[in-house]
Copies of this chain bind each other. A is one copy, B any other.
Amino acid sequence: MEEERPAASGTGSITRLLDILDLFTIEAPVVRVDTVQARLGYTKSTAYRYVKALCDAGLLAPAAAGSYSLGPRIVELDRLMRLADPLLRAGEAVLPALTAAVPNSMVLICSLYRDKVLCVHREGPEAIAAEGRAIRILRARGLPLPLFQGAASLAILAHLPQHRVRGLFLARRQEIGAAGLGEDWPALRMRLAAIRRDGHVTTIGRFNRHLAALSVPILAREDDRVVGSLTRIMAAPEFRGLAHDALLAELRAGAAATAAMLP
């Protein structure tokens, strides 16, 4: 029965079980069992068995009849992560003042997991006023950011240990080139070294034409390893009008204060 298996990350029940989580998206936050069968090519028995296992773990929960949504365990585990994340705790203490210092701006803390940059905290308004309208920004906790694009990611990337960057380069050369970070290893190295020298990354109009972002790394005091990045997002016109030195100094001070509170 290996006629077709449309989208599977691997073989074996262990990996197939977790493939079910991929089916949950913003467009389809509740999933039917027969959708699991159809999309992943499982039989009815297997689909139910897997769904039951995930339900028992609390990762899924029955919604309407025949439908399942993500479960309470997700929310609990996220709470656990929030409570246990030193970076987040430190940021929560430091960010309010930082955010308030510049009106019409929001501040993000981002963090690297394996090879994924994620926004772990956002402070400030949910929208930025620019060009006469409010630009809603969904860049809240949990938003995955492209690893090789955007100020927040680059600030982290530039401060990663060489061997980590080397590994990423070998594995994802295409993406790195496409993102304009350099076509070969020396070019990438130089680009990241330049960012390190500057101590910050600025992008204007990258994600949204009307927005600007300024990002600095958060470096652990003792060993200088990067633990995340601190990013301020503003309306692009306002950013052009502001004193960049002062903005940068503020942000750096925020990053230092955050780092100082880490264990």
Is the CB of A24 closer than 8 A to any CB of chain B?
A: yes
Task: Report yes or no: A53 in contact with B15, Cβ–Cβ below 8 A.
Answer: yes
Who on chain B is nearest to A14 by CB? Answer: B53
Give chain B nearest CB distance to A62 CB in angstroms.
Answer: 6
Within 8 A of B (CB), among A5-36: 9-10, 13-15, 17-18, 21, 24-26, 29
> Please, how many angstroms separate the alpha-carbon atoms of A227 and B120 in the complex?
28
Could you say which of A59, A118, A141 has the most chain B C-beta atoms within 10 Å of its C-beta?
A118
Task: Give the oligomeric copy count.
Answer: 2
Who on chain B is nearest to A78 by CB? Answer: B78
Chain B residues within an 8 Å CB radius of A84: 26, 29, 69
Q: Please, what's the 1-or-0 string for A36-69, where 1 marks a CB less than 8 Å from any CB in chain B?
A: 0000000000000110011111110110000001
Selected contact of A62 from candidates B14, B62, B74, B114, CB within 8 Å:
B114
Task: Report yes or no: B75 in contact with A78, Cβ–Cβ below 8 A.
Answer: yes
Task: Report yes or no: A57 in contact with B13, Cβ–Cβ below 8 A.
Answer: no
Q: Count chain A residues whose beta carbon lies closer than 8 angstroms to a beta carbon of B.
A: 50
Task: Report yes or no: A142 in contact with B78, Cβ–Cβ below 8 A.
Answer: yes
> Please, how many angstroms separate the alpha-carbon atoms of A141 and B141 in the complex?
13
Is the CB of A80 closer than 8 A to any CB of chain B?
A: yes
Selected contact of A141 from candidates B29, B55, B73, B79, CB within 8 Å:
B79
Chain B residues within an 8 Å CB radius of A81: 29, 69-70, 74-75
Task: Report yes or no: A79 in contact with B113, Cβ–Cβ below 8 A.
Answer: no
A61-B113, A75-B118, A75-B141 known; A80 vs B50 contact (CB < 8 Å): no
Chain B residues within an 8 Å CB radius of A125: none
Selected contact of A70 from candidates B49, B50, B80, B138, CB within 8 Å:
B80
> Please, how many angstroms separate the alpha-carbon atoms of A1 and B31 in the complex?
38
Task: Report yes or no: B142 in contact with A21, Cβ–Cβ below 8 A.
Answer: no
> Please, how many angstroms separate the alpha-carbon atoms of A44 and B80 in the complex?
26
Selected contact of A113 from candidates B17, B21, B50, B71, CB within 8 Å:
B71
Selected contact of A80 from candidates B25, B71, B76, B113, CB within 8 Å:
B25
A15-B56, A61-B114 known; A77 vs B21 contact (CB < 8 Å): yes
Could you say which of A10, A58, A142 has the most chain B C-beta atoms within 10 Å of its C-beta?
A142
Within 8 A of B (CB), among A64-108: 69-84
**22 residue pairs bridging A and B, Cβ less than 8 Å apart:** A10-B56, A15-B53, A18-B56, A18-B57, A18-B59, A21-B73, A24-B77, A26-B84, A55-B114, A58-B114, A61-B113, A71-B113, A71-B114, A72-B113, A74-B77, A75-B81, A75-B141, A76-B143, A78-B142, A79-B140, A79-B142, A83-B138
